[in-house]
Structure 1
Amino acid sequence: MKYLIFVFMLLGCANSRGDDHYINLQGDSFVLVTDKYFSRELSFNSLPTDKAFYMTYWGASPTAELRYGEQSVPIFYRGNDSEKLYLQLNNQVKTLTFHIQGKPVRYSTRYIQQQRGKVTADIPEVYELTNIVLALADKFHQTNYGRRVQGDYYQAMMKWFTPFKAHPIFTALGDVDYYSLVENGPAYEFMNDKIVKSEVYNSFRAKDAIAMQRELLENFAKISDFRSFYQQHQPYYSSLLKQFENDTQPKRIWSWLESEFPAEYQSYKVFFSPLGSGKHSARMFTHNGFKESIMFISGPNRYESGVDSPATKAIKLTRTLFTEIDHAYVNPISDNYINEINDALPELKNWYKGGGYNKPYLVFNEYMTWSVFLLYALESYSDEEYLMIKHHMEDFMVNKRGFYKFKAFNKELTRIYKKRSQEQTIEDLYEPIIKWLKTH
């Protein structure tokens, strides 16, 4: 990297741009670090005139740093939804705009009283609207974003909404980012024909496609009579929610995880759609002294086809839920070992095929979250069921997802788990498993 010399000034309140940063560059390259762990080298010359960055809240308010030599400019939430940084090089100025999700949630005293100790699964109305729009859009969106394109519900949805595919919402969302559209759905609700912000959630992603296209979504919902479709399918939604509860036993998972990890949450919230499949994520929100673990996962109907027994389908659904839930427990411990994880995985190509998990921290957490589920399965299922899900997960992780050494990793974590003392928890296994990584 070519290091730079910057001269920067934080302008005072007398300037109309307030706390924005102004930097005179002496060279083309600089480094942007987000959330302390993820760095990338950027080039001034290849930047557009105004480059946007979206900083999503996962378990804490997001941060970034622009680094240059031994110095840095911090970017963090200071009460504004966006911060700007102005770069100048050779009389040309470019703007970096950071959209910061600083306050994603508002937990009122009433909400806390209602939700404390509860696991709530839901198919929110606006969330399902966005899933329908995405499933209707075209084959690219259905395939790339894992739409479930089979079953009676899908067929009923297509019959109802296909006559409205000429609506301008589909042009406006031609290059839509799945997460910015669908995952922000639970942050909105209907008030008559209007889509309004939820009283609880501000957003789930810093980039919010619903906010950008709210009027078109409202219009599509109105002319297609979406709300009638949603109401007519309430019995089906209710059956899926009941099946989810029966199959996964989420409070049992909750109790087991908090016996093995120091993190504690007062509420679990789970969102899924009958049209969703494969795109999962989790975050941890804290406000007003209340901590909530939130997951976006596939619904039970993901496993309704095929020859698996009901018990096997239930175990696979439980795995889907568990490997999102336990990020809320695994990741905070991994944060304490970030340097050791980086040292242990200097070459990711031997551990991961490449793609979205392109940092040692991310790769390690995927290995750990999936293997921790198998520790839970070891204690929760029969020997036959355990061996079935173990074989299924090892095959899926190695051959489908490209985490090449998952089988060996899981074997070692299971070995040290079985050998641990009575007082030890999974938190105590981090040091020995990271040590093992270094030699494999």
Structure 2
Amino acid sequence: MKNYFLYLLFLILSISVNSQELKKVNFDSKFRKENQGKSKTVIHEVKELLHIMIAITELGLGNDDMVNQDSEYYKDLIKHFEPYKNEPIILKYDSLIKANPVNYIFLTGNAISYNFKGNKLVKDKNYLFPAQSVSSHTKITENLITKYKKDIEDFANKSKFRKFYKNSTKYYSKIIDDFDTQANIQQQWNWLENNFETKVNNYVIMTSPLIGGLNYTTNYDDNNFNQIFLVIPTISEDKKLSETEKIINNTRPIFTEIDHNYTVVLATKYEAELNEALKIRDTWVNTKQYGTEFYPNAKRVFDEYMTWSLYVIYISDIFKNDQKAFNYVYNDVNEAMTKRGFPKTKEFTDKLIELRKKNPKKNIEELYPELIEWCKTQ
């Protein structure tokens, strides 16, 4: 089942807006004004309830990839909520996810379409039906939170969820503060928009202590307002690492998600050139490595190289003249990407660094043509 969930992770990355879908969001003037140019990290109350409900399903209890089970928080919630694991709504959710794992996304992803008002769930004014599809062939037309609204309310009341959530406020605040100090999404956002023409209005990190190996990025557009929405695990804490190394490690999963919103625009623009430059697939991809099949064309392959190599450039800019920081991220990226089946990572990164040094007044977007020409010679 774990491998199936890792495969699902690839599918999640394909989430996109489809014109035939129902309206997902409503970014009214008040919402746009309050969120323009801002980023925030949220542990959403109803979404956390859904994560907890899934955590105590039979599937959730046995899957530490889907549910992060390595924390005191997890132990506390199991003690509090496991007595309710045989409630009808928990058994229903267990059957839904067993039948189709993407229902995990449809349940947790649509939780933000409701908020608590007392013991009742009331519809959110801005997030109407946000999670409707995972890839082009898996769609729903009914919000599963709406469908099971009464059952969710009954479970929350019976299990005293709102009291548990309130008592965890201090822990949640620490998680949010860690994102600010260890990842600094605003800094990443500013750097990317200085290097690319693409502009984004707003970023939201939606996290939970229970998110395991399933994380994804999607975006919502409404009324000329573009919001990038990241669903990712909490900041990791490795006491063996220096503070700089912790920042590098915790920034990477965020940066290599959000920079796709900028790099993919250029990969699409130069798709014809990339088909020629990367036409010998075996040069760029170790096709024997599991996972590389999810990058089936030159555009996807190039964009993955660019995403990770760009992270090396970002860290070298943030930690200027810090050779230890540069060496750490450089070696980490090269090792990780090579293991994933991208054997030209070191050469690609070296070329991008070289081009940047030769053209200090150019932004990254302006380096694409010369970088693609280099790819043709490999």
Counterpart of 1:434 in structure 2 is 372
Which of 346, 352, 355 is matched with 1:413 structurally?
352
Alignment partner of 2:78 out of 158, 161, 171: 158
Shift of 1:295: 1.4
Partner SS, residue 87 of structure 2 = coil
Alpha-carbon distance, 1:421 to partner: 4.9
Distance change (3 Å), C-alpha of 1:215 and 1:341: farther
Q: Tell me the alpha carbon deviations over residues 207-247 of structure 1, each in whole angstroms, 9 at most, x when there is no partner.
A: 45434544433332222221111111011101111121122
Q: Answer yes or no: is the 8 Å Cα contact 2:41–2:176 preserved in 1.
A: yes
Is 2:71 aligned against 1:132? no
Instruction: Work out whether residues 134 and 142 of structure 1, in 8 Å CA contact, stay in contact via their aligned partners in 2.
Output: no
CA distance in 2, matches of 1:255, 1:189: 31
Structure with more strand by fraction: 1
Q: What's the counterpart of residue 115 of structure 1?
A: 35
SS, match of residue 184 in structure 1: helix
* Pairing partner for 1:397 from 317, 321, 337: 337
The residue number in structure 2 matching 1:287 is: 222
Q: Structure 1's 430 and 308: CA in aligned 2 closer, same or farther, altered over 3 A?
A: same
Q: CA deviation at 1:268?
A: 1.6
Q: Is this contact kept in 1: 2:60–2:67, CA < 8 A?
A: no
1:181-220 CA distance string (max 9 Å, x none) = 2233323322333334321112332145434544433332
How far 1:128 sits from its partner (Å)?
A: 1.0
More helix by percentage: 2
TM superposition score normalised by structure 1: 0.71
- Paired position in structure 2 for 1:328: 261
Tell me, in whole angstroms, the C-alpha distance in 2 between the residues paired with 1:264 and 1:242. 26
Report what 2:325 is aligned to: 385
From 253, 275, 285, the counterpart of 1:351: 285
Offset from partner CA, 1:312-338 (integer Å, 9 cap, x none): 222211112211221221122222123
**SS in structure 1 opposite 2:266?**
helix
Distance in 2 of aligned mates of 1:402 and 1:344: 18
Partner of 1:20: none
Cα distance in 1 for residues equivalent to 2:300 and 2:151: 36
1:172 matched residue in structure 2: 92
The number of aligned residues is: 346
1:141-220 equivalence runs, <5 A: 143=63, 145-173=65-93, 174=95, 175=98, 176-177=101-102, 178-206=104-132, 207=140, 208-220=143-155
Structure 2 counterpart of 1:163, one-letter code: P
- Using structure 2 for the length normalisation, give the TM-score: 0.82
- 2:52 touches 2:77 (CA, 8 Å); kept in 1? yes
Q: Give the distance between the partners of 1:144 and 1:211, measured in 2 at CA.
A: 28
Distance 1:366 1:204 in 2: 26
CA distance in 2, matches of 1:198, 1:218: 16
Q: Using the alignment, how far apart are the partners of 1:55 and 1:364 within structure 2?
A: 16
User: Structure 1: which 5+ runs fail to align?
Assistant: 1-53, 63-75, 78-99
Deviations 1:381-435 (A, max 9, x none): 2210121122222222222x3334323322222222222251x211122223333
SS at match of 2:240: coil
The residue matched to 1:104 in structure 2 has which SS? coil
The alpha-carbon distance between structure 1 residues 183 and 414, as it changes in their structure 2 partners (threshold 3 A), is: farther
Matched, 1:339 2:339: no
Paired residue secondary structure (2:56): helix
Distance of 2:14 and 2:79 partners within structure 1: 36
Identity, in percent, stands at 29
Query: Equivalents in 2 of 1:224, 1:346: separation in Å?
Result: 57
Q: Is the 8 A contact 2:309 2:333 kept in 1?
A: no
- Deviation per CA, 1:115-152: give whole Å up to 9, x if none: 12211110101111122223323466764744221121
Distance 2:207 2:175 in 1: 10
Kindly state the Cα deviation for residue 160 of structure 1 after the two structures are TM-superposed.
0.9
2:303 aligned with 1:368 = no
* Residue 153 (structure 1) shift: 1.0
SS state at 1:277 partner: coil
Aligned equivalents of 2:281, 2:50: Cα separation in 1: 35
Mapped to 1, the partners of 2:165 and 2:239 lie a distance apart of 27
CA-atom RMSD, angstroms? 2.8
Q: 233, 238, 251: which one pairs with 1:318?
A: 251
Max radius of gyration: which structure?
A: 1
Q: Of residues 276, 291, 297 in structure 1, which corresponds to 2:232?
A: 297
Please report how far the alpha carbon of residue 306 of structure 1 lies from its aligned counterpart in structure 2 after TM superposition: 4.7
Aligned to 1:32: none
1-side partners of 2:62 and 2:242: how far apart? 27
